[in-house]
Structure 1
Amino acid sequence: MTTVGILYPGFSAEDDYPRAERLLGDGSRLPLVHTLMREDAHRVDALLDVGSEDILADGAKAVAASGGPLDSIVWACTSGSFVFGWDGAQAQVAALQEVARVPASSTSFAFVDACRALGVESVAIGATYPADVAERFVEFLGKAGIRVLTMTPRGIVTAAEVGTLTEDVVLDFAAAVAADAPGADAVLLPDTALHTIELLDRLDERADRPVLTANQVSVWQGLRLAGDERRRSGLGRLFAA
């Protein structure tokens, strides 16, 4: 049984993780701790605070205390990691690993590793964030050699609002992003505030290519770091590969 500690900022789509546990169906556990979010805002200064070293250290200690021995730990926040830039995000993960004493990663690096695992070289991004924040994700992916063909921002400021988007809205958004970039190898939906876990196979079907979502890649990355790379159904092409 694999146990992946999840550090999740605030409250929006954290229920995707118990849903993922059920879909994994093999006893793997995803104990989750809500880390401090002083301000719910997709704004650079607020995101730098959300992903600060002291907040993640407190979260790591809490999830280890509540979830028992961990096999890995993931900072499940894309914008709260890529906003630090490539080097800053690496330092963030290194500090988290030092505190947790298990392999660690963040959702931003999970996207990169998931793209590499699927052989994805070009992507279309459907970002719920404002454009200035989303552009930082484009830059982050560029550091990894991933070409962003299109980036479509929805301009939503708070994670709480993102968490209210309905299944139909999410599916239609992914399909529209895919249609705007027929040459993209995959569609990326980078916000962990977006409910996607129960939509993954449908998202792939609507986009006619892999759709990588933030909560999906976070779970996948945690399992991978723990050495658990079994194929699984019901969680999109990433898990089926």
Structure 2
Amino acid sequence: MYLIEKMRKTWLLLILVCCCHISIGEAVLPRTEGSNCRRLYQELGIGQTIGFPAFYKALENYHKYRSEKQDKLVVIDFTKPSTEKRFCVIDMQQKQVLFETYVSHGKNSGGNYATSFSNQPGSFKSSLGLFRTGETYYGKNGYSLVLEGLEKGINDKAKERAIVIHGASYADPALIPAQGRLGRSLGCPALPPVVSQKVIDTIKEGMLLYIYGNNKV
């Protein structure tokens, strides 16, 4: 009798745990956190640019690592093709979308879709994970923004690889009809020239950027 009662309580506990969580992509989230995140996602109206799993991971990292001055969040969703907008800048204080635009991925990460990512110099692949924006400078790609990779073994060689945000003619969506995809970079998240400077000036010097993707190779 005691054993039956103990088993009954165990099953009730398991049911309670299952009911208190929801599944989003590969992550299992507490229902309250998932609901709040979903609500903000819907308020922002970014569903055409950033998938919910990408937004959730970005928001999770933002709340974990942000400081008071980090009022902007940048999200790149590399599960989307280069023929679609997949770069988004969000003002977290005002809960407003500041930019939604196209972004190139590394030439060895894939064609229209980025499916392979790397932290290694010379790979010419994009990197995933959490970054912090740094200073701006003028280099061979014009006005550029330094990125510091914050995840060891995932993107912490970003500076060594000279992974920066910059504008590039090959990131112009006007090229898509002719070649079926956006042009590709050597690993940098390159933006259309028409918006690159405005975006860089908005997110420079300490903002958090999260790049989401499925590493299939």
Higher strand share: 2
Max Rg structure = 2
Q: Give the TM-score taking structure 2 as reference length.
A: 0.31
